[in-house]
Amino acid sequence: MADVSRRDPNIVMRLARLGSMHQSRLSFMRILTRRLARENWRFERAAFDIDSTGVGHAIYTAHGPDRSYSLIAYAHDLPPEKRSDRVIAEAWDATFTLFDGVPTAEDIERLSHNIPVQEAGRVSETELSVSRANRSVRLWEHVVNVLAEGRQPSYEKIAAVGYLMRTTAVYGSGKLGAADREMIADRPEFRAPFQVEMLSVYLTRWFVVDLVQHMAKARAALSGTQAAELDAGIARSIGIGNSTGLGMAPFLLNHPRLFNNWITAREDAIQAVRNVQWARDEEIAQFHDILLRNIQLIESWQSQHPVQMEKLAVLGKDIALVKGYLSRTDLSMKQPWDALYSWSEEALSLEGQEWIASLILEPYGALVDKFAKAMASDDEPVALIAGATQIGSLRAVLEDVYRWAIDTDWTVPTNMARAWYISEEKQEPRLGQRFEEPIEEYEQPLAPGRDAAVLYQALTHWPDEVEVADFLLENPEHRHTLRRIQVAGSSPYAEIRDNTISNSMLPIDMLRCKLSFFGATKFDPRSDRWVRICMYGNAPLPYELSQANADFWVFPSSTETTA
C-alpha cells in the first residue's frame, strides 16, 4: 500500500472542520503535564493569607530543574452585580499573575495595586501573565454549603458545570507591560506554545480547590461545626472553566506561521499513525480503553447552544457508528488506523472525523509526541517580504491557496456582511455588520480571502517577470496581503481557507480550534461568538502529579464518574 500523505490543506483549513477539532496528545496542557512529571517538578503552597470573607492573597510555587515560577492569587469579595465574563468587566472574584521566580514582600505589595485592576494596572518583566477568574455561582455555593455541613458535594452537580471558577482572560507575552515571549522562549519549559498560560491555569485550579475548602471552614466556624475535607476524587474531577469571547478569534489570523506549525504538527502525527503498518496488541488494547473513556467524557459534555446541541447529537450517532465499525473490524489488519480514519471520512460528521483523527494518536506517544517540538514559531508575525519574487510565482500561489476566494463573488453583500474592528473601550476586537454600522473605515485586515482576491485582480495587467518590490512601490495598499501570501505559499496550513467576513461565518469555529490545541474539552458556546470550556478536568492536582497520571488524565478512568 502506498504511503498515506498528509491531509490536503483544502480539506483541513475549512472553518467547519477547524471548529470541530478535539484535544489530542499534542495539546498544550498535556505537553505541560508530561514535562512537569518527567522533570519531577515540585509544588508548594508558599502563602495562603485569606480571611474569612474570602479576601487576601495566596502564592503557589512550582520548582523546576532550573527555575521556579509562582502563581500569585488575589481573592476578592465581589458583589454579584459586578460579576461579568465580558472583557469590559472591571472587577472579578479572583485575579492572578504568574511571577518569574519567587516574589518578595515588595513584589506582593506592588502587584496588589496592579493585578486586581487587570487592564487598568501595569506589570513588569518579572510577570509572565495576568489573568482573572469568576466563580460559577451555583456550584461554588453548593460546594461551600455542603462541605460546611460536613458532607461531600454531589458528583452530578459538579459534572453539570465542570468547574468552580472560570478564567475570563489570561494575558501573556508583553501585554500590560509583562515579559515578552521573546524573553523566555529559549527556556525549555516554555518552548512549546502557551506553556506560561497553561502553567498559570494549572496552579489556579489548585488555588480554587484550596479557596473553596477555606470558605467552607469559615462558614462552618460561624455555626460552630466542622467542615468536611473535600474528597480527593471529587477535587480531581473539578476543572477550571474558561470563558472566551471574540478577542481570541483573530489570533489564528494574526499568527499564520504559528498556526501553520500547530496544524502541521497534528497533521504530521495523523499521517504517521495512519502509516503504521501493523498495530501491536497492546496498542489496540490501549486504543479500546481510551475510546471507552473518551466516550464517557463526551457523554458528560453539555450545551444549550443549538449549533453545539446538533453537533453533539450527531457525534452521539457517530459514536454508535464507530462502535459498529470496531465490532466488525479486526484492528490487527494491515494499516488499521488508516482504514479507520478513511472509513470515518465516508461515514462520520466532521465532529466525528476529527474525534477519530485525535483518538488514533493516543497509543503512539513515541511516534507522535516529538512533533510538539515544532509547534512554536520564532518567526515574527510580520514576515520579511521577499521582494525579488516575480509576479508570476505570486500569482501561482494565489491560484493555489486562494482559489476559493478568487472564485467568490465579493459584490454579493452576504459575502461581505461583516467587518472586524477594534472597539474604543478596552481596545478589543469586535465583529460588526458592514452595511448597517459605521465601522468600515475602522476595519482590521482580518479578511485574507477577500484581500487576496482584490490583490489577484490588481495583478491582472502586471507581467509575470516583474518583481513584487516594484509592484509594492506603486501599490503599497497590498503590502499586508502580499506578505501574508508569501507566508501561505511556504506554510501550507497557515491560512484559513474560508470567508471570515460572510454573514454565515461562526467565530466560535476559530475559538474552538484554538482552544482544542490548548486541550480544552466540553465546548459550550454561549452565542456564535462566545464559548465556555473546561480545562484540566480530571487532571491530578499538582501535588498528585506523577509520570503514571501525567498523560491520560483527560479521559476519566472507566470506574470513575466524570466531571
Q: How far is the CB of 510 from another protein (least distance, A)?
A: 13
Helix/strand/coil for 355? helix
Cα-Cα-Cα-Cα dihedral sign, residues 110, 112, 114, 115: positive
92 versus 536: smaller Cβ distance to another protein: 92
Contacts with 113 (C-beta within 8 Å, 6 or more apart), sequence order: 121
- Where are the strands (E) in 163-238, listed by range? 163-172
Q: How far is the CB of 357 from another protein (least distance, A)?
A: 29
Helix/strand/coil for 187? coil
CA distances from 501 to 237, 254, 495, 507 (A): 39, 15, 15, 10
Q: How many CB atoms lie within 10 A of CB 281?
A: 9
Which alpha helices (H) appear in 329-401, and where do they start and end? 336-347, 350-359, 365-368, 391-401
Nearest-Å Rg of the Cα atoms of the chain is 24
Q: Which grid cell is 385?
A: 517580504
Q: How far is the CB of 214 from another protein (least distance, A)?
A: 22
**Diameter of the chain measured on Cα atoms:** 86
Q: Which grid cell is 290?
A: 481510551
Residues of this chain that bind another protein (CB under 8 A): 80, 83-88, 122, 124-125, 134, 136-138, 173-175, 177-183, 243, 245-247, 380, 382, 384-385, 387-388, 421-425, 427-428, 430-433, 437-439, 442, 445, 468-470, 472-474, 476-483, 507, 526-530
Which alpha helices (H) appear in 227-349, and where do they start and end? 232-237, 250-254, 256-274, 281-299, 306-328, 336-347
Contact 486/385 with Cβ under 8 angstroms? yes
306 versus 438: smaller Cβ distance to another protein: 438
CA distances from 191 to 183, 245, 267, 317, 404 (A): 11, 26, 20, 39, 35
Q: Which grid cell is 44?
A: 508548594
Strand order in the sheet with 42-50: 42-50, 56-63, 68-75, 94-100, 127-135, 163-172, 239-244, 530-535, 521-527
Strands 127-135 and 94-100, sheet pairing = antiparallel
Contact 108/136 with Cβ under 8 angstroms? no
Q: Which of 236, 217, 163 is nearest to 48 (CA)?
A: 217
85 versus 509: smaller Cβ distance to another protein: 85
49 versus 182: smaller Cβ distance to another protein: 182
Q: How far is the CB of 438 from another protein (least distance, A)?
A: 8
